[in-house]
Structure 1
Amino acid sequence: MNWKTNYRSFYYQGAPEPEDIVLDPTETALLVVDVQSTYLVPSEDPVQRDRWEPFRERMNDVVIPNIAKLVAASREQGVEVMFARIACMKNDGRDRSLSQKKPGWNYLLLPKDSEESRIVPELEPQGDEIVFCKTTDSALTGTNMRLILQNMGVKNVIVVGIFTDQCVSSTVRSLADESFNVVVVEDCCAAATKQLHDNELEIINMIYCHVASSQETLGFLEATKG
């Protein structure tokens, strides 16, 4: 099993295998979505703390280390590294989209200068790497990212981060609609549960993106050498 056959939904059962992916570093960006401190702080409620422990374990043991490796390789090979984070401009959050104002788990009030809105230290942006602040799920819809990518000649976007079934998926769909080639790195993403993660990857694969492992993605970049 590999990226050409994994995560096939009903729509793509039996479909021909896609062509090999080659990512020219000069036309490729790595986008890290919403890997922010707030999501890794255990709840004071013991029930919620236990419910979310598998997510935190995946983030700390798998996702963040793999993203860090991909970020390092991207910097070395000249791939533009970008970040998106949920962060509102107004302290009371009036500028947030409706999806972030609704009551419940998805209610997010993360002022841009708050510690909770920070990108985790392991993935600290360097130099002039662009950090987009968004008040929407899609990083493309809620920022000037579309214009920036076009201005920089980016055609391919590697997407990693959280949550697979929410902001990652929304961003991927928006990028696909704007005709960017998208690769989602499955072991660099997480949802609240592994089931939600796997289900969403199956939904978006082959139509909005190609889903691959971090090792396979590094191979797509290496294919341009020689």
Structure 2
Amino acid sequence: MSDWKTAFRSFYYETAEDPADIVLDRRRTALLVIDIQNTYLEPPDDPAEAARWQPFFDRMNTAVIPNTARLLDWARGAGLEVMFARIACQTEDGRDRSLSQKKPGFNYLLLPKNRDDSQIVDALTPRGDEIVVTKTTDSALTGTNLRLMLHNIGITHVIVAGIFTDQCVSSTVRSLADESFEVLVVHDACAAATDELHRRELEIINMIYCHVVASEDLAGFLA
């Protein structure tokens, strides 16, 4: 078990008392996997840029994807609701995208919903009737009807994995917290562009918007 009660604390919570034990009701808990899509595993054409991103690709292939695959196996076996969010636009030219995805730079994304690079990676393929929402926003709640579906299913606790920690993961976590869901972020099943950005964002959102935990902690939380 990790030291989740004391790890990833920001200035705001350095002296705070430890949080209460987490108890998950499997009937009211969902695992949400965010944006682990083919496009993010494609190295840039420029060799220098590809080298700059190599640590991220290494983390994805050696930690995030294998750990998320294990999370999915665990959640399915435990009877939790399994859900996915992915970035994908409805139109071929992306005219339905949010402004942030139309601006030039890293966040520029043109991912038509049926194109291969917009699909969830093969190792994490959804099964059966597992819900997949598509969004052109950072937050999976802002850009979809996910909030409504979570309430309809009776979900109160959401376990989050995916990328990028400091962008779509963080935005979704904050939206979930604002809607009064209890949120757990699995730090070893998430990644930002760099480990520094990843850790910094975990410290920012921990204890106010979510609890940051390790994948090994989760089985111990089930009621």
Taking structure 2 as the reference length, the TM-score comes to 0.98
Matched to 1:158, the amino acid is I
Structure 2: runs of 5 or more not aligned = none
Distance in 1 between the 2:3 and 2:177 partners?
22
Aligned to 1:31: 32
Distance in 1 between the 2:12 and 2:69 partners?
33
Alignment of 1:113-192 (within 5 A): 113-192=114-193
CA RMSD of superposed structures (Å): 0.7
Matched to 1:66, the amino acid is N
Match status 1:20 vs 2:21: yes
Match status 1:59 vs 2:60: yes
Distance in 2 between the 1:218 and 1:105 partners?
36
Aligned to 1:203: 204
Q: Is the 8 A contact 1:33 1:85 kept in 2?
A: yes
Matched to 2:150, the amino acid is L
Matched to 1:96, the amino acid is R
How many residue pairs match? The answer is 222
Deviation at 1:43, TM superposition (A): 1.3
Distance in 2 between the 1:166 and 1:218 partners?
27
Distance in 1 between the 2:10 and 2:129 partners?
39
Q: Is the 8 A contact 1:37 1:118 kept in 2?
A: yes
Distance in 2 between the 1:127 and 1:175 partners?
25
Secondary structure, counterpart of 1:167 in structure 2 = helix
Distance in 1 between the 2:218 and 2:139 partners?
22
Q: Is the 8 A contact 1:134 1:142 kept in 2?
A: yes
Distance in 1 between the 2:209 and 2:219 partners?
20
Distance in 2 between the 1:217 and 1:37 partners?
27
Q: Is the 8 A contact 1:70 1:218 kept in 2?
A: no
Deviation at 1:38, TM superposition (A): 0.3
Aligned to 2:45: 44
Deviation at 1:42, TM superposition (A): 1.1
What percentage of residue pairs aligned between the two structures are identical? 67
Structure 1: runs of 5 or more not aligned = none
Q: Is the 8 A contact 1:29 1:81 kept in 2?
A: yes
Secondary structure, counterpart of 2:23 in structure 1 = coil
Distance in 2 between the 1:195 and 1:99 partners?
23
Distance in 1 between the 2:44 and 2:101 partners?
19
Distance in 2 between the 1:188 and 1:218 partners?
15
Distance in 2 between the 1:78 and 1:60 partners?
27
Deviation at 1:218, TM superposition (A): 2.5
Taking structure 1 as the reference length, the TM-score comes to 0.97
Q: Output one character per residue of 1:135-154: Cα deviation in whole Å (capped at 9) or x when no partner.
A: 10000100000000000000
Distance in 2 between the 1:206 and 1:2 partners?
14
Alignment of 1:206-225 (within 5 A): 206-221=207-222, 224=223
Secondary structure, counterpart of 2:183 in structure 1 = strand
